[in-house]
Structure formats: C-alpha cells, structure tokens
C-alpha cells in the first residue's frame, strides 16, 4: 500500500519531468531510492561507532555497498531541501539566466556529492566545484522574479546518480565529515509549483 501511494504521488512529478525528454529517458533507466536519501547514505557509509555492534554494522554496510555498486538511482530533492541552488549572473542581451548548483546533497548527517571533496573552506564546509546551468527567462518574467524562486525555495531538484565510494574529511572543531561520492549522470531543476524545467545537467 505504501508503495502504491508513493507511486501516485510521483506521477504528476514524473509527467512534468517528461518535458525534458533526455532526462526522462535517463530517469526511467534508474531505480527510485527505496526510502529517503538520508536512509540510503546511512546504510552506505555505515559509520559503525558502537563497540558491540561494530562488526555486524560493518558487514551490513559492505553488503549494501556491494548490492548497489554500479547501479543508477533516482531521487527527488524537495524545494524545502534544495539549499544547494543559487541564482547566478543574468545576461540581459540574451535574456539568459544562470543557475549555480553546489553538488552537495545532504541527507541526515551525511551528503551525496559529485566526486569527493578534498578540503573545507574557512567555515568548515566541503569545497565543491559548481555545476552551472543556463536557460532563457519565460515571457512575463524578469530577473527579480527569477531570484525570488531561490529566496522562497520554489525550486526542486531531480537527480540520477551512481554511488562510487565513501569520503571523509576532518571536521572543524574535531570529528569528521562523511559522505558518499557519486557520479551524477543527470540533474534536472524544475519550478516546483508547475513542474516546468529550469535547467538540466548531464555527466560525461
């Protein structure tokens, strides 16, 4: 029943994604995550700190990594969680906008990233190379209208990825940051209210 309800909720989202035929084909070749992104990351990283459960935890994590190795997965990052998006420069001569995507997708205490970050910035955040998307403003829109989409969290991200391993970096103040490095094969940003595509990216 839970699966059927989830499928019904996804139907309108997937229909809108079909406005980008290339992404729709990629999405259809991937498996939707069985659960949330945070659950997937937790199983994959398997940070086994408990002394008594450490051995079984490590075995479970290794088995999960082997199970998902080389597979493509599809996940929706809701507009409330799409903090990795920001408005970039606008070219008035071409009417072209830019969307800057930091390929750092948090889930629980971990994050899914494009490749592995190698350092942190002064604030202790992992440094990631940006993904840059371009598009044309629709009729009736202006740069201020476009920027409001980011300020009001009205953009949603759909992601197709293949996990490739675990990364770890020292955490400012002690401890460590951990996550799952991945190959991002496709990324689609849409206007959450209508499902209209805003920009897309495809990995090599």
In this prediction the pTM is 0.86
- Coil, helix or strand at residue 136: strand
CA-to-CA distance for 34 and 41, rounded, in angstroms? Answer: 12
Token duo for residue 170: 């020292």
Are 161 and 72 in contact by the 8 Å Cβ rule? The answer is: yes
Judged against a pLDDT cut of 90, whether residue 129 lies above it is answered with yes
| Mean pLDDT rounded to a whole number for the chain | 88
| Percentage with pLDDT > 90 across the chain | 70
Exposure string of 181-199, with b = 16+ CB inside 10 Å and e = fewer, is bbebbbbbbbbbeebebbb
- Give the whole-angstrom CA distance, residue 187 versus residue 25: 12
How does pLDDT run across 4-25, given as a tens digit for each residue?
333 434 444 444 445 689 999 9
């Amino acid at each position: 029943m839970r699966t059927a309800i989830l499928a019904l909720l996804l139907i309108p989202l997937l229909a809108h994604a079909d406005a980008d035929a290339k992404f729709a084909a990629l999405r259809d070749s991937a498996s939707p995550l069985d659960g949330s992104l945070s659950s997937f990351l937790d199983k994959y990283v398997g940070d086994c700190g408990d002394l008594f459960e450490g051995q079984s935890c490590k075995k479970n994590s290794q088995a999960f990594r082997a199970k998902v190795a080389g597979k493509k997965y599809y996940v929706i990052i809701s507009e409330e969680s799409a903090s990795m998006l920001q408005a970039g420069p606008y070219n008035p001569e071409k009417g072209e906008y830019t969307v800057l995507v930091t390929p750092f997708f948090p889930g629980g205490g971990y994050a899914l990233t494009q490749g592995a970050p190698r350092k942190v910035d002064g604030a202790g955040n992992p440094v990631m190379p940006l993904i840059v998307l371009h598009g044309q403003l629709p009729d009736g829109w202006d740069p201020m209208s476009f920027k409001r989409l980011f300020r009001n969290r009205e953009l949603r991200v759909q992601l197709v990825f293949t996990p490739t391993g675990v990364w770890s970096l020292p955490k400012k103040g002690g401890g460590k940051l951990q996550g799952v490095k991945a190959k991002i094969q496709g990324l689609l940003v849409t206007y959450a209210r209508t499902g209209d595509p805003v920009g897309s990216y495809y990995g090599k």
